[in-house]
Chains A and B, each alone.
Chain A
Amino acid sequence: MIAVFYAHPYPRRSRANRRLFDAIATLGGVERRSLYDLYPDFSIDIEAEQAALVAADVVVWQHPIYWYTAPALQKLWFEKVLALGWAFGRGGDMLRGKRCLWVATTGAPEDAYDEAGMHQHAFGAFEPVVRQTAQFCGMKWLEPMIVHGAIRLSDDELEAQGQKYRARLIELGATEVQRA
C-alpha cells in the first residue's frame, strides 16, 4: 500500500500539483489524502493519519515548496502525526523500514536554485530538512521527484510529469486498475 499525503492550500487552483495528484488517482493500492481538504481548520485527526501511515509501506509527501519547505499544514502534520514514542524516541518505531518518496514542485525554474541564482542555493540545499525528518523516523529515503518551474510548464510537459509520477508509484508497488 502507498499512502500519498498531499498538502496544497488551494488544490482546485493549483495547476501542477493538481495534475500530478490526478495522474495517480486511478492507481490501485494507493491512498490519497489531501490534507487541506481534510483539515481546513488545521485540526488534524492524528489517529486517522497514523492509521494511514501504518497501513502503508511507501509514504509519499507531495506538496509545493513554500518558503523553501513544506506548506504550513504539512509542517503541522509532521509535528502532530510523527509523534514522540510513535514515530521516534522510545518505542517510536512505527515507521521503521518504510520507504519515503518526496514529490515537490517549485515555482521557479531549476536555474533559480543556484549560487548565482535568485535563491542563492542549489535546490539540494533545501532537501535535508524533509529528508532528515523521514530518516529520523527510520524510513528509507527514496530519490525525490522534484518538478521545477511548475507555473511555466506547458500542459504537455505537465502531462509527462504526471505519467512519470504514475510510473514511479507503479514501480513502488501500485497497480494499474482495470477499467471496466
Chain B
Amino acid sequence: MHSDEPLVQALIYLSAAVVFVPIASKLKLGSVLGYLIAGCVIGPFGLKLVRNVQSILQFSEFGVVFMLFVIGLELEPKRLWSMRRAVFGGGALQMGAVALALAPALMLVGLSWQGALVASLAMALSSTAIAVQTMNERRALDSPTGRTSFAILLFQDIAAIPLIALVPLLSAQQTAGGNRLLSSAKAVGAIVAVIVLGRFVLQPILRTIARTHLREVFTAFALLLVIAIASLMHMVEVSMGLGAFLAGVLLASSEYRHALETDIEPFKGLLMGLFFIAVGMSIDFSLFKQHAALIVALVAGFAALKGAALASIASRLGVDKRERLVFAALLSQGGEFAFVVFGVAQKARLLPGAWDGLLTLTVALSMAATPLLLLAIDALNQRTQSRESRAPDVVDEHSEVIIAGFGRFGQIVGRVLLASGIKATVLDHDPDQIDVMRRFGFRVFYGDATRTDLLESAGAAKAKVIVNAIDDVEANLALVDHVRAHFPQVKVMCRARNVTHYYELKRRGVVVLERELFEGSLVVSRAVLEALGVGPYEARERIDRFRRLNIMLLERLAPHFDDEGKRVAMAKSGRDELEQQIQREISQLDEQHGKGWHED
C-alpha cells in the first residue's frame, strides 16, 4: 500500500495521536503540544510519513469550524449581544495595540511599511484553535478571563476578512471597487440567509428528524448543517468558522442543543487534533536550521512584544490582576489566519524573499510555545498564590439539578422544583414530550440521558443532584453506572420500579427513596381503613408502622439478593415475622387504647 492512501494516512495520524497526546497529557504539557509534536514527528521534516501538509491543513480547519459551532451552541443570542462591547471594543483595542507594538519591530528587521502593516496585523490575530482548546482544558472558557479572550478571538475572526482584502490594496495590483462592493453584498446576503434559516427553518427540520428516532440520521444532519454553512461562507469569502459560530448561536436556545453538541463533539475533537498535527507538520525544520538564531529571536521577540501589548491592555479589558499573565500568554501566539495572509502577501510581493517562510515558522513555533508559557506561569503563580486563597471565578450557567427522563415521574419532580424557583436541566428522548414541557418554561433538552457525553454537556460535572427518572430498568441502571463512573460527586436520586430494581440500585450504593407503587398502595390502603371506620389518625399510624416494618424487612433481605434460595427462605421467615409484628402491634394498640388514657 502506498502511504498516500487514505487508510494508511488515517493509520499514521491516529497512531501518532494515540502515542503522543497521552504522553504530553501525562507530562502536563496539554494535548495541544502533544498533537504538535506528533505532527513534527510524522511530517515532511520528521519521519516524512506525510507530504501533503497544505491540503491536510486546509481540511483540518473544519475542526476549528466545528469548534466554533459548538461554542456558538453554548452562547445564546442574548449573551452574545451582551458581549458586543467586549467583542468590538476589546477586539479592536487588542489588534490595534498588538499591531502598534509589532509593526515598528518588523520594519526594523527590514520589512517595508506596507509589509510590516500587513504582517503585524496578521500576527495580531491569535489562534482560536490553540486558545480555546487550552482554555477548555483549563476549564477557563466560562471564567471572566475566558470570556474576554473569546470576545477578542471572535473579533479577530471578523477582522481577518478585511485584512485579506487589505493586501491587494497595499500592493501595486488594484482590483476594481465594484467587485468588492458585490462581494460584500454577497457576504451580507449569506449571513442574513444563515440567520433566517437558523431562526425559522432549522428547528422544525430538527424536530422532524428527531422524531424518526434514528440517531445516526440526526448525527448526519448535524454534520451536514455545519459543513453546508461553512461551504456557503467559503463561497462568499466569509470566515467559515464565523458562519458556523453564527449558526450555533441561533441554535443555542433550541432543545436540540445538547444533542447537536454531543454529536459534533467527537468530530470536532478529532479534526482539531488533525489541525494541530498539521500545524506541527508545517514547521519547517530545515529553514529553522538555516536561520536558527534569527528564528529564535523572532519567536521570542514576537511572543514578548505581543504578550507585553496584551498585558498592558488587560486592565482596560477588565481582566483580573492575577489573571493578566495567563491572559497574555493565552493570546500570545499567532493564528492559523496568519498563514493565509502571509501567503497572499507573498504573492502580492509585500513580503520579500524568505520572509513568508520565516514568519510562518515564527507563528507555528509561537503556537507550540503557548502551552509551555502557560506551564511556566502556572508554576510561578503556584509559588506566589499558595499563600492567598482564591475565590472561584468560574461562572456556571448549568443547573445544579439534572432530571433524566421526563415522563410522569420526572415531570412531577420538575414541577415541584420549578415551583420552588429551581430550574432543573431536563433530558429526555421524546421530542413531543419536550415541546409540551418547553411551553411551560422547562429547560428540556433532547437526547439519550445514558450517554456520558450528553450528561457532560448537560453539566453533570457541576451538578449536585441527578434525578434518575428513567422508566426502563436497564437504561435506568446504565445511567447510575455512568454517573458513578464519571461524575462520582453527583448524588443520584432514584425510585425503584420493583423490588429487583430496588436491590440493583442498593447494590450500586444509590439511596433509593421510593419503590414505585408502594406509596400509592399505602395511600389507598389508608383510605380503605378509613372507609371501614378506622379513625384517620389511627389509619395513618397503622400505615406508618407497616411502611417502617416493610422497609426494615427489605433491607434485611438486601445482602442475600443474589442467593435465590436464601432470599426465599428469608422472605418467608420475614413474612411470618411481619405477620407476628402486625399481630403484636394490633394487640399493643388495643391494649393501649383499652386501658390507657386515650379512652378519656
- Give A contacts to B, CB under 8 Å: 8-17, 36-38, 40-41, 64-66, 73, 105-107, 150-151
Distance, CA A14 to CA B597, complexed state (A): 9
Question: Shortest distance in angstroms between A147's beta carbon and chain B's nearest beta carbon?
Answer: 8
Q: Which residue of B lies closest to A147 (CB)?
A: B600
- Within 8 Å by CB of B535, from A37, A64, A73, A105, lies A37
Q: Are A151 and B600 in contact (CB under 8 A)?
A: yes
Distance, CA A41 to CA B522, complexed state (A): 14
Q: Which residue of A lies closest to B594 (CB)?
A: A13
Known contacts A10-B535, A10-B593: A40-B598 contact under CB 8 Å: no
B597: chain A residues at CB < 8 Å are 64, 66, 107, 151
- Within 8 Å by CB of A150, from B535, B538, B600, lies B600
Q: Are B537 and A9 in contact (CB under 8 A)?
A: yes
Q: Are A13 and B536 in contact (CB under 8 A)?
A: no
Distance, CA A9 to CA B534, complexed state (A): 11
Known contacts A40-B539, A40-B540, A41-B540: A10-B533 contact under CB 8 Å: no
Residue with the highest number of chain B CB atoms closer than 10 Å, among A13, A65, A66, A150: A13
Instruction: Tell me, yes or no, whether B599 is within 8 Å of chain A by CB.
Output: yes
Distance, CA A142 to CA B599, complexed state (A): 26
Q: Are B538 and A9 in contact (CB under 8 A)?
A: yes
Distance, CA A133 to CA B110, complexed state (A): 97
Distance, CA A9 to CA B592, complexed state (A): 13
Q: Which residue of B lies closest to A13 (CB)?
A: B593
18 more A-B contacts (CB under 8 A) besides A9-B535, A12-B538, A40-B537?
A8-B598, A9-B598, A10-B535, A10-B537, A11-B535, A13-B593, A14-B599, A14-B600, A16-B600, A36-B536, A37-B535, A37-B537, A40-B536, A40-B539, A64-B600, A106-B600, A150-B599, A150-B600
Question: Shortest distance in angstroms between A108's beta carbon and chain B's nearest beta carbon?
Answer: 9
- Within 8 Å by CB of A14, from B536, B539, B598, lies B598
- Within 8 Å by CB of B598, from A13, A38, A73, lies A13
A151: chain B residues at CB < 8 Å are 597, 599-600
Distance, CA A8 to CA B597, complexed state (A): 11
Distance, CA A65 to CA B597, complexed state (A): 9
B536: chain A residues at CB < 8 Å are 36-38, 40
Q: Are A17 and B600 in contact (CB under 8 A)?
A: yes
- Within 8 Å by CB of B599, from A15, A40, A65, A73, lies A15
B598: chain A residues at CB < 8 Å are 8-10, 13-14, 64
- Within 8 Å by CB of A12, from B535, B540, B600, lies B535
Q: Which residue of A lies closest to B595 (CB)?
A: A151
A106: chain B residues at CB < 8 Å are 600
B538: chain A residues at CB < 8 Å are 9-10, 12-13
Question: Shortest distance in angstroms between A38's beta carbon and chain B's nearest beta carbon?
Answer: 8
Interface residues of B in 549-600 (CB under 8 A from A): 593, 597-600
**Sample of 10 A–B contacts (CB below 8 Å):** A11-B535, A12-B538, A13-B598, A16-B600, A36-B537, A37-B536, A40-B536, A65-B600, A107-B600, A150-B599
Question: Shortest distance in angstroms between B334's beta carbon and chain A's nearest beta carbon?
Answer: 68
Distance, CA A16 to CA B600, complexed state (A): 5
Distance, CA A37 to CA B540, complexed state (A): 10
Q: Which residue of B lies closest to A106 (CB)?
A: B600
